Amino acid sequence: MLGRANPMLPMICGIERVKRETHDTFTFELTPPCDYSFAPGQFNMLYVFGVGEVAISVSGDPSKKEALVHTIRAVGSVTKAICKLKGGGSVGVRGAFGSDWQIDKAVGKDVVLVAGGIGLAPLRPVIYHILANRAEFGRVSVLYGTRTTGDLVFRREIEQWRGRFDLDFEVTVDTASADWRGDVGFVTTLIRKASFDPLETVAMLCGPEIMMRFSIAELKKLGLTSEQIFVSMERNMKCAVGFCGHCQFGPAFVCRDGPVFRLDHLEPLFGKHEI
Amino acid sequence: MPDILESKNLQQLIEVLSADGYRVVAPTVRDNAIIYDEIATVADLPKGWTDKQDGGNYRLEKRKDDAFFGYNVGPHSWKKFLHPPVTRLFRAKLEGNGFQVVPEVEETPDFAFFGVRSCELHAIAIHDRVLIDEQFVDPVYQARREKIFTVAVNCGQAGGTCFCVSMNTGPKASFGYDIVLTEVLDGERHYFTVETGSEKGAEVMSKIPLRKAEAEESETAEKIVAETVLQMGRYLDTTGIRDLLIRNYDHPRWDEVASRCLTCANCTMVCPTCFCSTVEDVTDLKGHAAERWRKWDSCFTLDFSYIHGGNVRSSAKSRYRQWMTHKLSAWIDQFETSGCVGCGRCITWCPTGIDITEEVRAIRETEVSD
Amino acid sequence: METLEPILAEHPFFRELARPDLHLLVGCASNVVFEAGTTIFREGEDADSFYLIRQGKVALEAESPERHSVIVQTLGKGEVLGWSWLVPPYHWCFDAKAVDLTRAIALNGKCLREKCDENPRLGYELLKGFARIMAERLQAARMQMLDIYGTNT
């Protein structure tokens, strides 16, 4: 964690490279601050000069210390401002904050990653970690649902991953033109087809809450328990250190106790409206 | 045995604190309410005033005596000094292709809080827990908090919306003060019993004219506080309250209270433990200099819970529920204490008189009758 | 002669069905293969069968308001294609096209409807299976309709 003395002060990081993923999503490689490290699932607060701060998960490889990577979708004032920045510019960084996916709990087990839309970004570090330590895990499935084929992020990498025999990477979109040869349908249909041993599986979910709710229902139908399911939650965040109160979810501060929660720790509130 | 400070010598306590470099902040009358602000002399205290409080109701009245502390808490709390409503977090200026962050160098004032009630000591302790004792420390709060001198006052009467006895937070100050006073008006006599709670307190006391209390004086003071216990305007049954509220997230009462709640955020502004804040970014006209400010925020505002796609809590019902369940239930999980100190401000300052004790009772009663 | 019964029994859709019931159904079954790109059925045509997909991938297509063909759903191994045979007037609602080489068991709808009329208990079992599939697809369709990953939700 940076700036322990004053957790509200950002460190300045230069933008090394910007890669366009889709019409509204970009991947930023920053020069990391000294002694920076993160665990897959954690996030940073990125500050744009004069505009504001936004919480963004780290989407890069945790073993590569030379680059701090975020994948950002331009949807709000701050993310839109970030996405206008170019290589050579800089942003403020506070972090890494929050809980991580606890990949060590999945060692020796089958792993199912369910991602929706930009939700693949916080799971990408998990994929990197698993592939770098492939022998430690059983069968690994990545099930990725998004809107259209034009909304797929990390395209080239996904092609590489799909070519591997030790990783089952499935993609489904909500709708596609007739020349698409991949799957069309909701991500739950991929869960039904994935191969894993329900008793010895850890599932990690990241995407819109409604997608996670239906995915959880499907996983539970197949025999998983809440203790085997991890979800990454999204809430408004202003401070990321438990001071501002914005990210509360019942008894939890999503910034501090999350964003990654084991599902049983969010129950019985998970799935209720307006929490 | 405590010491005795004659009321005519109270001014000397203020003078000693001022001489020690403290800015003395205390209750004072302004705009028909008792608020907290800097005072120069005892004449600035609300001497001879009292307050009548009820749901959505606050009124100052003249007392028949000259009590300095013959009222209860008003719309202000000490959080405005320790956790300022508006703070600049940092400044930033453009430099070449990038920018530099300029940290704040603030001269933190030394405050002497004069006339802090027991419920308020508890509120400060709760903020200590939230803003200092967890994983991260808020430097703004900590710098101010470390320097305060606290003159507490045991309550000689309870207000119409008080329920500190239910919350186990008063009316007698039990910790967190440098000096604690109990005001006694006994016929012609008007004095304070004084006890110290710290080295700092003892040092200040050594500079003011005191004498040892007679047993009878001490007993009179204790009797006054004991009587306050019996005067509480409100009662809140806290038995199993954490689970009671978790069990009742879908209770119809939330709809009912929402029909009266204006989501005006008054309750959160007057609450001595509500700590939520937001941030605002500003730039100069040329866009070369930027500032980041932190401001009090409230979970009753619509965009408090905004995430891409919309507000998580868009109904009044969900926002009232968030506030009350956080205060009385989730707070216990987060900070191992209730977030409510029973000061009654949220009841008094609610424009429609929504009463947190009544809301809990309404939910509890439906369970009993089940 | 070897029948299709063991293949039917293996397919997830019939896994719960009792052997004697399967035995009744096997007379309505036939083996089919569709080369990649072949149209299996078209919207409006008589829905005279349904398919248990054993291998490959089938796309259900509809015409978008802009008059493009869009894929609304894909079905693969272990899934069932088509339930219009069950609902009057027994016409297909979408086009179905084999995306990859697709092997399937076709079950003749008319033959099935007759067997089910004779044997309502079998009909009930089949209907339960289709109700489950229809519910899953309706739910999925609603999710797709909600545009949950959308830009301007």
CATH number of the domain within which A44 lies? 2.40.30.10
Chain-centroid distance of CA C72 in Å reads: 14
**A92 and A107 share one domain:** no
Are B54 and B179 in a shared domain? yes
For A90, the closest of B98, B297, B317 (CB atoms) is B98
A175/C76 touch (CB, cutoff 8 Å), yes or no: no
Token pair 């120069």 is at which residue? B40
d(CA B363, CA B252): 9
Residue C121, in any domain of the structure:
yes
Cross-chain Cβ contact A250/B98 below 8 Å: no
pLDDT at C64: 80
What average pLDDT does the segment C29-42 reach? 96
Subunits adjacent to chain B (3 or more Cβ pairs under 8 Å): A
Establish if B290 belongs to a structural domain: no
The values of phi and psi at residue B19, to 5°, are -65, -30
Q: Is residue A17 part of a domain?
A: yes
In this structure, the answer to whether residues B168 and B251 fall within a common structural domain is no
- Does residue A244 sit within a domain? no
Q: Are residues A74 and A182 in the same domain?
A: no
ipTM score assigned to the predicted complex: 0.91
Half-sphere exposure of A259 (CA within 13 A, CB side): 27
Nearest-angstrom CA–CA distance, B17 and C150 = 62
User: What pLDDT does residue B336 have?
Assistant: 95
CA neighbor of A53 nearest in space, from A244, A190, A181: A244
A53 CB neighbours in chain B (<8 A) are 279, 292
The yes-or-no verdict on residue C139 having pLDDT over 80 is yes
Question: Which pLDDT does position C66 carry in this prediction?
Answer: 79
Residue A11: CB atoms within 10 A of its CB come to: 18
Within 8 A of A234 by CB-CB distance, chain B residues are 307-308
Q: Of A67, A97, A127, which marks where a domain is finished?
A: A97
- Average pLDDT (A151-171) is 96
HEC letters along chain C: CCCCHHHHHHCHHHCCCCHHHHHHHHHHEEEEEECCCCEEECCCCECCEEEEEEECEEEEEEECCCCCEEEEEEEECCCEECCHHHCCCCECCCEEEECCCEEEEEEEHHHHHHHHHHCHHHHHHHHHHHHHHHHHHHHHHHHHHHCCCCCCC
Whether A117 is covered by a domain: the verdict is yes
- Chain B partners of A246 at a C-beta cutoff of 8 Å? 276, 278, 297, 304-305
Distance from CA of B151 to the nearest CA of A (A): 27
pLDDT digits (tens, 9 = 90+) for C58-67: 999 998 887 7
Please, which residues have CB within 8 angstroms of residue C101's CB and are 6 or more apart in sequence?
C33, C34, C35, C36, C55, C56
Residues C74/C58, Cβ–Cβ less than 8 Å: yes
A103 in Cβ contact with A263 (< 8 Å): no
Q: How far away is chain B from the Cα of A202, in angstroms, using its nearest Cα?
A: 27
Residues A111, A126: one domain? yes
How far is B279 from B297, CA to CA, in rounded Å?
9
pLDDT of residue C152: 45
Residue B16 has what pLDDT? 97
Alpha carbon distance C70, C86 (integer Å): 25
Q: Coil, helix or strand for B137?
A: coil
- Measured between CA atoms, the residue of chain B closest to residue A270 is B249
Burial class (CB in 10 A: 0-12, 13-18, 19+), B337: middle
Looking at beta carbons, which residues of chain B come within 8 Å of A241? 135-136
Measured between CB atoms, does C99 come within 8 Å of chain A? yes
Residues 6+ apart with CB under 8 A from A111: A126, A130, A137, A138, A139, A140, A141, A196, A201, A202, A203, A204
Query: Are the beta carbons of B262 and B352 closer than 8 angstroms?
Result: yes
Please report whether residue A275 resides in a domain.
Answer: no
Q: Are A114 and A123 in contact (CB under 8 A)?
A: no
C148 and chain A: CB distance < 8 Å anywhere? yes
Instruction: Tell me if B304 and A236 make a contact (CB, 8 A cut-off).
Output: yes
B223 and B192, same structural domain?
Answer: yes
Check if A181 contacts C (Cβ < 8 Å). Answer: yes
> What CATH number does residue C76 fall under?
2.60.120.10
Test B89 with A8 for CB contact under 8 angstroms.
yes
Same domain, A62 and A25: yes
User: Does the distance separating the beta carbons of A243 and B330 come in below 8 Å?
Assistant: no
Cα distance between residue A46 and residue A57, in whole Å: 10
Rounded to whole angstroms, the Cα distance separating A190 from A145 reads 9
Residues B127 and B182 in one domain: yes
Q: Touching check for C39 and chain A: CB below 8 Å?
A: no
What is the least distance, in Å, from the CA of A4 to any CA of chain C?
A: 36
Is there a contact between B88 and B68 (Cβ–Cβ < 8 Å)? no
Domain range enclosing C100: 5-146
Please indicate, yes or no, if residue B163 is contained in any of the structural domains: yes
End-of-domain residue from the set B174, B196, B229: B229
Q: Chain A residue with minimal CA distance to B287?
A: A50
pLDDT score recorded for residue C121: 92
- Mean pLDDT of the A52-76 span: 95
Q: Quick one: which H or E segment has residue B307?
A: strand B306-307
CB B65 within 8 A of CB B100: no
**Which positions in chain C touch A215 (Cβ < 8 Å)?**
none
- Judged on CB neighbours under 10 Å (0-12, 13-18, 19+), B254 is buried
Q: Does C61 touch chain A (CB under 8 A)?
A: yes
Query: Is 70 exceeded by the pLDDT of residue A4?
Result: no
B353 and B210 in a common domain: no
Within chain B, which residues score under 70 in pLDDT?
Answer: 369-370
Query: Where would I find the H helices in B136-233?
Result: 139-147, 164-167, 199-205, 215-229
Of B203, B229, B255, the domain-final residue: B229
Residues of the domain holding B208:
3-87+108-229
| Residue A189 near residue C140 (C-beta atoms within 8 A) | yes
User: Where do runs of H (alpha helix) occur along A50-119?
Assistant: 77-84
Whether residue C150 lies within 8 A of chain A, CB to CB, comes out as yes
Does the residue B236 lie in any domain?
no
Do B250 and B214 belong to one domain? no
| Domain's final residue, options A69, A97, A125 | A97
Domain ranges, residue A215: 103-232
Q: Which of B110, B107, B105 is nearest to B150 (CA)?
A: B110
**Are residues C70 and A210, on separate chains, in Cβ contact within 8 Å?**
no
Number of folded domains that form chain A: 2
Residue B283 in any domain: the answer is no
- Residue B337 · residue B349 · CB < 8 Å: no
pLDDT for the residue A67: 93
Query: Across the interface, do C76 and A193 touch by the CB < 8 Å criterion?
Result: yes
Listed residue (B156, B155, B152) closest to B178, CA to CA:
B152
Residue C153 belongs to a domain: no
CB contact under 8 A, C151 and A75: yes
Q: What integer is the mean pLDDT of A232-250?
A: 95
Per-residue model confidence as pLDDT tens digits over A206-216: 999 999 999 99
**Mapping DSSP to helix (H, G, I), strand (E, B) and coil, where does residue B229 land?**
helix
Q: What is the mean pLDDT of chain A?
A: 94
What is the mean pLDDT of the segment spanning C87-115?
A: 93
| pLDDT class of C3 with cuts at 50, 70, 90 | confident
Residue with tokens 């979408």: C94
The nearest alpha carbon in chain B to A256 belongs to: B135
Question: Is residue A113 assigned to a domain?
Answer: yes
Q: Of A111-120, A248-257, C17-26, C76-85, give the lowest mean pLDDT range.
A: C17-26
Q: Which stretches does DSSP call E strand in chain C?
A: 29-34, 39-41, 49-55, 57-63, 69-76, 80-81, 95-98, 102-108
Last residue of some domain: A232, A253, A268?
Answer: A232
CATH number for the domain including A210?
A: 3.40.50.80
Let me know whether B148 and B73 are in one domain. yes
Question: Does residue B181 sit in the same domain as residue B64?
Answer: yes
Kindly state whether residue B100 falls inside one of the protein's structural domains: no
CB pairs under 8 A between A and B: 125
Residue-level pLDDT at C63: 87
In what helix (H) or strand (E) does residue B6 lie, and over which residues does it extend?
strand B3-6
Same domain, residue pair B310 and B195: no
Q: Could you tell me the pLDDT band of residue C151, with boundaries at 50, 70 and 90?
A: low
Residue C2 has pLDDT above 80, yes or no: no
Phi/psi of residue A55, each to 5°? -85, 125
Provide the pairing of β-strand A229-232 with B306-307. Answer: unpaired
Whose CA is closest to C61, among C44, C85, C43?
A: C43
Q: Which residues contact C59 (CB under 8 A, 6 or more apart)?
A: A178, A184, C71, C73, C74, C96, C97, C99
* pLDDT number for residue A63: 93
Inside any domain, residue C152: no
Please indicate, yes or no, whether residues B266 and B120 belong to a single structural domain of this protein: no
Are B193 and B270 members of one domain? Answer: no
Residue C1: pLDDT band with limits 50, 70, 90: low
State yes or no: pLDDT of A171 exceeds 90.
yes
Q: How many domains does chain B have?
A: 2
Contact B355, B162 (CB under 8 A): no
- The C-alpha of A127 sits at a distance from chain B's nearest C-alpha, in angstroms, of 26
Total of domains in chain C: 1
Same domain, B63 and B129: yes
Nearest C-alpha in C relative to A144 = C149
Chosen domain end from B229, B258, B290:
B229
A2 pLDDT higher than 80:
no
**Half-sphere exposure in the Cβ direction for A43 (13 Å, CA):** 30
Residue at B184 is within a domain: yes
Element spanning B292, H or E = strand B289-296
